[in-house]
Amino acid sequence: MNVISILTAFLTLLAGIGVFLVACTMMSSNLESAASRRLKRLFSHTGNNKLVGVGIGTLGTAAIQSSGAVTVMVIGFVNVGIMSLSQAATIIYGANIGTTVTAQLVALGLSGSNSLSTTVLFAAFAGIGAFMMLFAKNDAWKKTGGILTGFGMLFVGLSMMANAMDEFAALNSVKLLLASISNPLLLVLLGAVITAIIQSSSVMTSIAITMVVTGLIALDQGIYLTMGSNIGSCVVAIIAGLTSGVAAKRTAMIHLLFNVLGVILFLCAAFILNLLTAGDWSFGTIFEHLFPAAPQLQLAMFHTVFNITTMLVALPLTNSLVNLACRIVKDQPIEQTNEPHLYFLDPQMLRTPVVAIRQLKAEVENMAQLALQNYQRAIHNVTTLDNSERELFEQTEKQLNYLNRELVHYALLLSDKQLNRFDHQYLVSTIRTVSDLERIGDYAKNIIEYADSLRQQEVRFSDYALKEIEQMNTLIFGLYEATIQAYHKMDMNALGLANQIEDQIDQLTDEMERNHIQRLSLGICKPQAGTEYISLAQNSERVADHLINVAKTIRDLQ
């Protein structure tokens, strides 16, 4: 081979890897979008049964063809306290098993007769899917087309990689170079590093399979590269954990410990096997005997056996792994900061829209709580003229303004992702909801200013007025609880209750205005407080209007 041929083979390999990576991303994003609601329900069924957790992780990863996406989802759920570390660990075990499906598909693609290989047959799905995406009007059909296109492109990339490997296999110098890398630890490290760089264990495993099939490396070398790819796959979880809380970091650490445990276990087993058989047997020879004349299947099956065996060993050690992760990632003192910030979201979650939308909902609910707290601080201030919480009020108001901007921006970023109709509609409603919650904060600020006016004039509301304000505050709190119940659980009964309470608030507002005018005429209330009292009643009614707007958003999501 001349220099041009070598360069062509290298560029073909690079192109094949690129096509394979794009195909993985395309298929994963479309599958994730199509199955997002089912995935949410699936993850919500995670209980304390460890095998159930493994099953959910396996099914979830097999469904969306991305262990990284499932792991990031799990980290997100742990980060907001929806899932415990033990539950997360079992799902991660299952995710590692589910990711072996890609290797089995690659092995299938490299099988077949010379007349019509399965690679060519499956690659044709790329064209079928592209036509569906181009001409289909229905969104579900477009997503199906995206899935088929990604599936077909997997085999287009695989074919390009295999062709490049054939070219390299003809070079004795390349063979000798690769043959010289026989140290298991070095091969594991090489597999981990390459996987960490490309952030896809599926691609690394697929490269190893094509190298074994074309004779570039021995089966044992491919086995150690594949083992290393499991460690390298943890980089996605580690990156996600770095930008999240302690619990998320511990989840990423469990993922790393699990894969390191498997590699150590199999390295020790390989060493013992070598000693007992005087070097005659290895994992490679075992799988060559189990699956003769099928090198692609030999490595794919080892990958599956490796992950299942590691799961079986790790399952009874789950609590120990959790405790070890907690020791490595220690509790951090909570940083007291007055600067506005997001509580549940970070940019890393945009990679997994299913998690990001759930976290966005948690952030909206937290914003609602902050808005209500400021309203209640304002009511306390205006009824007692106690200004001791004024600084906390101002900090919360800044936080509400910050959340208003950031959540709208985050929702817009999410809207560019592959989403199903329900999630897209939720993002549209979120932009309105965030605006409603920010307006509640504004009305609370108005009420604080009424308190300032009362202090300046050295007047107070009468006891009768204070009782009505307390009654209004109680109704507002009840409306808030019904609204959150409706919003969080999509509960139409809670929406009905919220509507009833909102009607009571409207009636109370009218009564407050009539009663106050009557008290002014009788001299019970001082005229200086009259304007502030009526404005307070009207502002409270508007707070109720914005709360009911939040509750009503669920009607568009049914």
| Percent with pLDDT over 70 in the chain | 86
Residues 6+ apart with CB under 8 A from 118: 108, 109, 110, 111, 112, 155
Q: What is the mean pLDDT of residues 341-348?
A: 80
Q: Say if residue 242's pLDDT is above 70.
A: no
Domain with CATH 1.20.58.220 in the chain: 347-557
Q: What is the DSSP letter of 554?
A: G
Residue 85 · residue 255 · CB < 8 Å: no
Confidence of residue 553 (pLDDT cuts 50, 70, 90): very high
pLDDT digits (tens, 9 = 90+) for 48-105: 678 888 888 888 777 666 676 677 677 767 765 667 888 889 989 998 898 888 788 7
Q: What is the pLDDT of residue 115?
A: 44
Q: What is the pLDDT of residue 66?
A: 65
CA distance 294 to 383: 82
* CB under 8 A, 24+ apart: contacts of 336-340: 338/395, 340/398, 340/399, 340/401, 340/402, 340/403
CA distance 118 to 107: 10
Q: Say if residue 401's pLDDT is above 70.
A: yes
Structure tokens at 547: 């709360």
Helices 463-489 and 353-384, packing angle to 10 deg? 170
- Expressed in angstroms, the distance from the first to the final Cα of the chain is 64
Q: Say if residue 419's pLDDT is above 80.
A: no
pLDDT digits (tens, 9 = 90+) for 455-501: 888 888 888 889 999 999 999 999 999 999 999 989 999 999 999 99
Q: What is the mean pLDDT of residues 179-194?
A: 89
| Class at the top of the CATH hierarchy for domain 347-557 | mainly alpha
Confidence of residue 380 (pLDDT cuts 50, 70, 90): very high
CA distance 183 to 449: 74
Q: What is the pLDDT of residue 6?
A: 77
Cα dihedral: 502, 503, 507, 513 (round 10): 40
CA distance 512 to 534: 8
Residue 268 · residue 262 · CB < 8 Å: no
Residue 102, amino acid: T
Burial-class residue 89 by CB neighbours within 10 Å (0-12, 13-18, 19+): buried
pLDDT digits (tens, 9 = 90+) for 437-449: 999 999 999 999 9
3-state secondary structure 113-171: CCCCEHHHHHHHHHHHHHHHHHHCCCHHHHHHHHHHHHHHHHHHHHHHHHHHHHHHHCC
CB atoms within 10 A of CB 338: 11
Q: What is the pLDDT of residue 32?
A: 61
CA distance 371 to 500: 21
CB atoms within 10 A of CB 367: 24
Mean pLDDT in the chain? 84
